Amino acid sequence: MKAVVYDRYGSPEVLRVEDVALPSPAAGQVRVKVAATSLNLSDWECLTGRPAYARIGGLRGPAHRTLGSDIAGVVDEIGDDVTGFGIGDEVYGDNLALMGGFAEYALAPESVLIRKPAGLTFAEASTIPQAGAIALQGTRKAVAGSRVLINGAGGGSGSFAIQLAKRLGAHVTGVDNAAKQDFMRSVGVDEVVDYGREDFTRAAPAYDLILDLVAHRSVFAYRRALARGGTYRCVGGNVRSLLRVLTAGSVTGLVTGRSIGVLVVREGPAHFKPLADLCVAGEVDIHVDRVFALDEVPAALARVGEGRALGKVVVAPS
């Protein structure tokens, strides 16, 4: 089968398409003929090896030869002890532990997969698992009338998070680069901030909930941006900021009547299916930026890593 592989961290040029052996599922695993794999910032981080947390499990070189975790496709082989799926089932899920979605076939534990709803295409379904879990958990504290700010709102998780916070009745501000302002408006934000021109932590008003997809500021800046009783949660960003939030965040929050911390996103079908249900019901829209072929994975990753994607980028291996 064809797979996009790499052996060292670097730019998209380190990727190449190779013919590799068709893998066989171990006990508890299925083999999926991959129809679509959506890209996440985590794929870019594992490609470049930056921030440093992307090297966990792969200090000297990549932990996986083939990236791509959000897969959707058809089960074509099952391992021993698999009880939930049979050959021919249409499935999707976040295969973060094994990756391998930038290939014609991928192995996945059955526990990470769920049946694809008939109302979603493979490309649409592939956009949901990782970004959906982040968006659902990151907006859980949004309530009617609250002021919510999403930093990095023009990306994959952000476009779902905007819609979920709006559904809950919040007033939503989206922060991203200048080229994504119109996109954020089209998804439904009430206000936009161009991070190249304005520092949201220095502008009034204070927010009740901040979901930060790309943290890179000090704990004091986040405290400043929060209303009393407000909550700040980051899911990604540079290591320095994440460590500061982990260490000084809880203390600073406690003494100032705010909650500042890192959101460790729980993975698995139970954590993204509610969003898929909303998408099938037409209550949340899926924004697919572009669909690329397997040999275009370097270009697809560059589009995400260089911040040009509006919504989710998808690769269709077969």
Ligand X SMILES: NC(=O)c1ccc[n+]([C@@H]2O[C@H](COP(=O)([O-])OP(=O)(O)OC[C@H]3O[C@@H](n4cnc5c(N)ncnc54)[C@H](OP(=O)(O)O)[C@@H]3O)[C@@H](O)[C@H]2O)c1
**Residue 213 to residue 292: CA distance in whole angstroms:** 24
Q: Is the dihedral of CA 293, 118, 41, 77 positive or negative?
A: negative
Distance separating the N- and C-terminal Cα atoms of the chain: 11
Binding of ligand X by 154 (CB under 6 A): yes
Binding of ligand X by 290 (CB under 6 A): no
Which residues make beta-bridge pairs with 270?
none
Binding of ligand X by 177 (CB under 6 A): yes
Using CB under 6 A as the binding criterion, the count of chain residues that bind ligand X stands at 29
What is the identity of the amino acid at 84? G
* Min dist. Cβ of residue 108 to ligand X (A): 17
Of 62, 100, 129, 158, which one interacts with ligand X (CB under 6 A)?
A: 158
Of 27, 255, 264, 281, which one interacts with ligand X (CB under 6 A)?
A: 264
* Residue spans of alpha helices (H) in 194-267: 219-225, 239-244, 250-256
For residue 2, give the nearest of 101, 75, 135 by alpha carbon: 101
Of 30, 36, 41, 172, which one interacts with ligand X (CB under 6 A)?
A: 41
Binding of ligand X by 151 (CB under 6 A): yes
* Min dist. Cβ of residue 263 to ligand X (A): 6
Binding of ligand X by 65 (CB under 6 A): no
For 209, the 3-state DSSP assignment is strand
Binding of ligand X by 216 (CB under 6 A): yes
* Min dist. Cβ of residue 311 to ligand X (A): 8
Binding of ligand X by 214 (CB under 6 A): yes
Question: In the structure encoding, which two tokens stand for residue 74, read together?
Answer: 């058809």
* Residue spans of alpha helices (H) in the chain: 41-48, 122-126, 129-138, 156-167, 181-187, 219-225, 239-244, 250-256, 269-280, 297-305
Binding of ligand X by 139 (CB under 6 A): no
Site residues (CB under 6 A) for ligand X? 40-42, 45, 130-131, 134, 151-152, 154-158, 175-177, 180, 195, 213-214, 216, 235-236, 263-265, 304, 307
